Structure formats: C-alpha cells, structure tokens
Amino acid sequence: MNKFRTIRKIVTGKHTVDGAGVKLVRVIGRDDTKEFDPFLMLDAFDSVDPDDYIKGFPWHPHRGIETITYLIQGEVEHGDSLGNTGRILTGECQWMTAGSGILHQEMPKASERMLGVQLWLNLPAKDKMVSPKYHGLRNEDIPAIDEGDRQIHILAGVYGGKTGAMEGDYCKPLLLDVEVRAGAEWSLDIAENTTLFIYIFQGAGTFGSDRLIPAKHAVLFDETGTFLIRASDEGIRFFLMAGEPLQEPIAWGGPIVMNTREELQLAFRELEEDKFIKV
C-alpha cells in the first residue's frame, strides 16, 4: 500500500500591508524559513476592491532570491533595471532572478478581481551573485494537462512527462496550479526529503485524512510518501510548491536575502553608495 504524506502544519498567514499600501496575506515569511526551505515567503492576494492594491510596489531592490508572481486573475504592470517592461495578465507568471541585484516595480491595475500569489525562492550561496534575469511566462508558455476531473498547469518542473514553462537555473522547484473537480481525487509521487506545501485558492479538500481544509489556507506536508487530495463537493484549486531544501544559513533584511550578516550589510551599504546594480 502507498504511504501518503501526512499534514505537518496548516497556516493561514497574517494580514498585512506592503509596498505603497497593498493589502495582502503573508502566508509564510521570515519565521518559517527552516520548515519551508528553499521557499522563503509566500504572499497571497484576493480582492475585488482596487483600493486594496492599486498603490502597488514602487521601485525597490532585491538581491539573493528569485521572485515568482502568478496571477489567477488580474493585471500587473512591471518594470526593472534591466530595461524589461510589460504586464502580467490572468493566468500568467513573472519569474525574476534578482541575483547580484535588481531594481523593479510592480503596479497592479484595477481589475474585476485580483487573485494570485508571489513566491520567494531562495538562491544557493554559490549563486547569490549571479547576473539578474527576467522571464515573462505567458498563457501559451504554461502547459496544461487535462485529466478529465483534473487540470494541471505546469509552471515549473516536470509533470506527466511534460516539462513546464520553467525548470529553474539554480533551485529547481516543482510548481503546479491544480484544479480538481468536486469529489475527485488526485495523487502525486514526490521525491523523499523534498519540501512540499500547497496554498488553496478556492474550494476545499481533504489530504489523506477526513479533515476538510478550506480556501485561504496553506498546508505543509511531511517529507515522505505520496501526496493525495480529495476535492470537496465544491471542488478545489490550489498552488503546489515542492523543492529540495538548501539547508544553508539565512541573513534576511527586507527585500534582500543573503547567507551572512556581513553580506547583508554590504548590500545595504552598496545601495547607499549607488553600487548595488552590477550589470
């Protein structure tokens, strides 16, 4: 018989305001880095009131991480110090490798509904200072597999023999947007000792037990066994994130995540001295 992954922790996160006044839920953050390694932060947003988000995230720096912004619904304009500009639209994703340092801005536009997440993925120590890079993943770039009662959108990694829109140049996570219809099941074999968690966008489901977990919850699973979901009578849609832990020290200061305090202090000193951008 299959051994199914059991639930290790359920979190709802904390309502907060970030950027120039964006209301969001910080699902995981600074205090969760050990359990969720290599994932650093997950912010979730869901609003039908543009006043909650249109002030956006004006120009700000990043170093030492990758940011992955995925929209289920909405529109976000963006620009960065590499000269990239564009829009993230419904069903699309922005994957940015901050590396040695980048400045960017993200400005949500008024939409019928703004629903999505931003995930911070750590960079290994040896790759913290790689050249920054930007990937805009359009709808047509993100493969979707229709399994009848289930539909799986593959943002990163490999599922069902199909390679996703990204592999990841440094950490190589599996990132799936999964829709399961009412009452249906879906299972996935994940390598042992891999961090696995989900964030439920809509609906509810059970995960190898009778406990029903509703939308707006994140679920962290134990490190061995098959992942199993049974959708409730309303179905479920969730974001699945899996990755191999880095098990490295973390020095975190706002938008910059390094390995040592000295590296962090250098980054902020370079910001003050206008030496932050390397390319």
CB-based contacts of 130, cutoff 8 Å, min separation 6: 97, 99, 100, 123, 169, 170
Token pair for residue 97? 């490798």
pLDDT of amino acid 208:
84
Q: Radius of gyration of the chain from Cα atoms?
A: 18
3-state secondary structure of 249: coil
Question: According to the annotation, is 15 in a ligand binding site?
Answer: no
Q: What is the pLDDT along the chain (279 residues), one digit of tens a residue?
A: 568 899 999 999 999 999 999 999 999 999 999 999 999 999 999 999 999 999 999 999 999 999 999 999 999 999 999 999 999 999 999 999 999 999 999 999 999 999 999 999 999 999 999 999 999 999 999 999 999 999 999 999 999 999 999 999 999 999 999 999 999 999 999 999 999 999 999 999 999 888 999 999 999 999 889 999 999 999 999 999 999 999 999 999 999 999 999 999 999 999 999 999 987
Nearest to 238 by CA among 209, 213, 214, 202: 202
Question: According to the annotation, is 62 in a ligand binding site?
Answer: yes
Question: According to the annotation, is 78 in a ligand binding site?
Answer: no
Question: According to the annotation, is 60 in a ligand binding site?
Answer: yes
Token pair for residue 163? 């390679």
pLDDT in tens, 120-156: 999 999 999 999 999 999 999 999 999 999 999 999 9
On whether the CB atoms of residues 192 and 221 are closer than 8 A, the answer is no
- Confidence (pTM): 0.96
Q: Report angle CA 218, 87, 36 to the nearest 5 degrees.
A: 25
pLDDT of amino acid 210:
86
Token pair for residue 40? 């650093």
pLDDT in tens, 98-109: 999 999 999 999
pLDDT of amino acid 2:
66
What residue spans define the domains of the chain? 7-273
Q: Name the CATH code of domain 7-273 (choices 1.10.150.20, 2.60.120.10, 3.40.50.720, 1.10.3720.10).
A: 2.60.120.10
Token pair for residue 221? 């699973």
Distance in angstroms (rounded) separating the CA atoms of residues 161 and 155:
14
CA dihedral over 128, 133, 138, 142, signed as positive or negative: negative
Nearest to 67 by CA among 159, 152, 173, 205: 173
Measured CA distances, 227 to 155, 250, 252 (Å)? 18, 29, 31
